Chain A
Amino acid sequence: MIHEVSANQPTFHRVRFTAGLNVVLADRTDVSTQKDTRNGLGKSTLLAIIDFCLGANAIRDRGLWIEPLLDWSFSLLLTVGGNTVRVTRAVKSPGRLHIEGPTDGWVRQPDDHGDGSRSYSVADWRTVLGAALFALGGSEERRRYHPTFRSLLPYFLRRGLDAYVDPFRHYRSPKSWTTQVNVAYLLGLNWEYAAQWQELRDTEQATRALNAAIRSGAIPDLGTAGELEAEAINLQAQVDRQSNALRDFRVHPQYEAIQSEADQLTAELHELSNQNVADRRRLAQYRAAIEQEGAPADVQLEEVYREAGLVFPAPLRRTLDEARDFHRNIVANRRKFLEVELARVARAMATREEQIGQLTDRRASVLNVLATHGALEELTALQGRLVELKGRLAEVQDKLAQVRSLAKKRREVAVARAELSQVAAREHEERRGHWAEAVRLFNENSQALYNTPGRLVIDVGDAGYRFDVEIERSGSEGVGKMKVFCFDLTLLQLWADAPLHIDFLIHDSVLFDGVDSRQRALALARAASVADEIGAQYICTLNSDAVPFDEFPVGFNFNDHVRLVLRDRHPSERLLGFEFDQPYGRDDAAGV
């Protein structure tokens, strides 16, 4: 129950509220255009102030946190959770809310500053209100998607045009899970199912996105399970081969030295072999010479001697005997020469043959070492290749796991979804007693306004909860707004018997725009009677020219419920008591 709204500046029009119907009237006489950047009379500002004191987000240069209001602080006197307290929040230091009054039994106690003042952080204040007004215990946070004080309050304090379009949402485009989770909570349904549906949707979306990415090639060559399997087998075989090669590989530390020794030996062997070839030829020549070079017979020598005597003029110097000696010497020497040479060459060749044999053996063993060992670089290369292969294998196995888990995930989601639907449907039946009450109350409210049944539809399906409202006067002006009215009132009534519940509902004049005057009158009367009946509080702002005095039921005295009249004949008649330029236009419900 909100008792009073006040501020620290004297120009502010303090307003007091009671149980039952409370109206703040706006009497606009000045014709102003949409483009008017001056602050309005203060209808939406009043709601902004109440919201501010109930822990709304404070955004610089938005809502109340603007230059002209920097020295302002706003207070709310309210009874909540069994305590009546005054809470104050300053515009320029919105991080804390000062509290005066008892806080016994509240789930959070304020911080004591030692000088008698106590304050809450915004978060703690929200926790206190969440517990006292919506029975939020904190255990809701175990779910990723869960109701919070700030997500539930707007159904009882709708701000801005977009908040009055559809009963189930209070801003233009909420995510579907927000609506489902919060409305389910408020209607007393199992909100956790709504949360679970969203979690499943998240998983589904993720796998669908991944699948799309794979198909579109964003994740290249992921391939099918079959392809990946084949590749994995192939790579494994290569890895095994490589591992074996590595295991059998022996490094010889002097590999290069041994290699050059092998080369050297080869060169030597070549040389020796060539020399033997040359010598073999020479051997053949000598043998041939020995055979061919027959010595001329003595007869020929004698003939030569005789002719020489004839040919040469001088008497012959030498005797025939001397000639014979000479002849024999030459021939004999020649023969000896050939024989010696033959032997020598043969010996040389034999020695070389032996050397060749030895060198060949040596080379064979060296080549064997080379064949069975490897150089260090080779080993390093082999190891590198093995590492690379193992890396590729791991990659492929990873992808395989991904592909497999993807398929598995999708199956799991489908199963979970089916299960959830079943369980939710079952429990929905069990809770029928409770939500049927909501349906009944909505109908009553609709009847009160239109004398026709109104249906609050609550469905459980594969996609989660589905909510709808129908009032059979869809042709009538402003029925949509009245659906919102009926729904909000229903919620207030639904919670009235709970030990911890919200006991106020606040509507802006927007709610009544475009609504038939008859319904306007009936709505206000209905709000008054319901609030009185359940001991709650209905606060609304209204333009004075929208008050349907002629349509009110008998016995209903509208003026008894007016708590404040705001005017624009003079700046001091506005809520804040002065005029200023609003940098971001008037109906700014997005900020404070």
Chain B
Amino acid sequence: MIRPSKHISASRSLLGVGAVLLQALDAALTPTALWERVRDHEAVGSYERFVLALDMLFIAGLVALHDGSIARMDG
């Protein structure tokens, strides 16, 4: 599901979503604020995929949750 396969395109895979989220996180945002920003992006699709993509980014150590806000972890 993360990686595109012959059934799922790259943009549609969670990696694609994650990319969009990372791009949107130029500053720390609450999940709701982030969702409002990206909900209409074609790559994102549903709230379900949004959450899983966030989870993925978290697992990869690319984002963290501080005081209810999600921020990028660059480095």
Contact = CB atoms under 8 A, between A and B. Distances in A.
A308 B51 contact: no
Contacts of A337: 30, 32
Contacts of B59: 304-305, 308, 312, 316-318, 323
Interface stretch (A222-230, A327-335, A475-483): A327-335
Interface residues of A, number: 30
Interface stretch (A292-300, A376-384, A462-470, A536-544): A292-300
Given A304-B59, A334-B35, A296 B52 contact: yes
B48 interface: yes
B65 A326 contact: yes
A52 B19 CA distance: 143
A303 B65 contact: no
Residue among A294, A305, A330 having the largest count of chain B Cβ atoms under 10 Å: A330
Given A330-B54, A333-B32, A308 B1 contact: no
Contacts of A307: 1-3
A329 B51 CA distance: 11
A501 to B, nearest CB: 137
Interface string B21-35: 000000000111001
A333 B30 contact: yes
Given A307-B2, A326-B65, A292 B60 contact: no
Interface in A413-470: none
Interface in B28-75: 30-32, 35, 47-48, 51-52, 54-56, 58-61, 65, 68
Contacts of B31: 330, 333-334
Nearest to B60: A312
Residue among A294, A317, A323 having the largest count of chain B Cβ atoms under 10 Å: A317
A317 B60 CA distance: 6
Contacts of B60: 308, 312, 316-317
Residue among A289, A300, A308 having the largest count of chain B Cβ atoms under 10 Å: A308
Nearest to A336: B32
B1 A331 contact: no
A301 interface: yes
B1 A304 contact: yes
Nearest to A316: B59
Contacts of B2: 304, 307-308, 310-311
Contact of A308 (B30, B35, B56, B65): B56
A305 B59 CA distance: 7
B58 A296 contact: no
Nearest to B3: A311
A311 B65 contact: no
Given A316-B61, A317-B60, A326-B58, A295 B32 contact: no
Contacts of A303: 1
Contacts of A334: 31-32, 35, 47
A2 to B, nearest CB: 140
A333 B3 contact: no
A289 B35 CA distance: 12
A308 B13 CA distance: 12
A316 B2 CA distance: 15
B15 interface: yes
A312 to B, nearest CB: 5
A296 B56 CA distance: 13
Interface in A160-186: none
Contacts of B48: 293-296, 300
Contact of A329 (B47, B52, B61, B65): B65
Interface of A: 289, 292-296, 300-301, 303-305, 307-308, 310-312, 314, 316-318, 322-323, 326-327, 329-331, 333-334, 337
- Considering the complex of A and B, which 9 residue pairs feature the smallest CB-CB distances, nearest first? A317-B61, A293-B47, A307-B2, A308-B59, A326-B58, A337-B32, A296-B48, A330-B31, A312-B60
Given A292-B47, A304-B55, A331-B51, 7 more contacts: A293-B48, A305-B55, A308-B60, A314-B61, A316-B60, A326-B58, A330-B51
19 contacts: A293-B47, A294-B48, A296-B51, A301-B55, A304-B56, A307-B2, A308-B56, A308-B59, A310-B3, A311-B2, A312-B59, A322-B58, A323-B55, A323-B59, A326-B58, A329-B65, A330-B51, A333-B30, A334-B31
